[in-house]
Amino acid sequence: MLVPGFLSPRALLSPLEARLEESGHNVSLFKGWPTLTVFQYRDLLAQLRDEGPAVVIGHSLGGMIAVLAAERRPDLLKAVIGLDPFIFDPVDIECPYFEVRGLEYRLCHPREPDDPAPDRLLTWAPHALVPIDPKVMDYTAGLINYLASPRSGGNRDNG
């Protein structure tokens, strides 16, 4: 199940969704999006109760929502994979697998060595709009394939 971040367009996770579906996984989108709030972990848990336990991939605030859900009902999550999740505190969850990955992008445009205005304000690339690095998507898709493999004891449903 994919949980986009706050203000992130659904298209941000579409390439990852396509890669997972090409590998034979059933992929669903968290129904609470796009009006995402931190308290929607309850809605995520309700959706997981309806659809069955799943691997949850959350981006940004979606990653924090996935962690909050896993802290409360680890039995409903096969795994949590956070893509640059909005998490500041240590995480202690009991679900079978938990991993956090950064998106590997620069937040600010680099300054040139001969910049005439070194104190100028740098432009920030909005976190919610930066495409996910293809290497991170490849890694995540490979991880989901492994978690669904017989070696890990998983299955392909709700991956």
* Domain regions of the chain by residue span: 2-152
pLDDT of 159: 46
User: Mean pLDDT per segment of 10 residues, for the chain of length 159 residues?
Assistant: 83 88 88 73 93 90 90 92 78 79 46 48 51 78 84 54
Bridge partners of 83, per DSSP, are 59, 101
Per-residue model confidence (pLDDT) at position 33: 64
Structure tokens at 144: 């989901």
Closest C-alpha to 96, from 153, 52, 49? 153
Q: Which CATH class is domain 2-152?
A: alpha beta
Read off the pTM.
0.74
Q: Look up residue 107 and give its two tokens.
A: 């937040």
Query: Distance (Å, rounded) from C-alpha 31 to C-alpha 40?
Result: 10
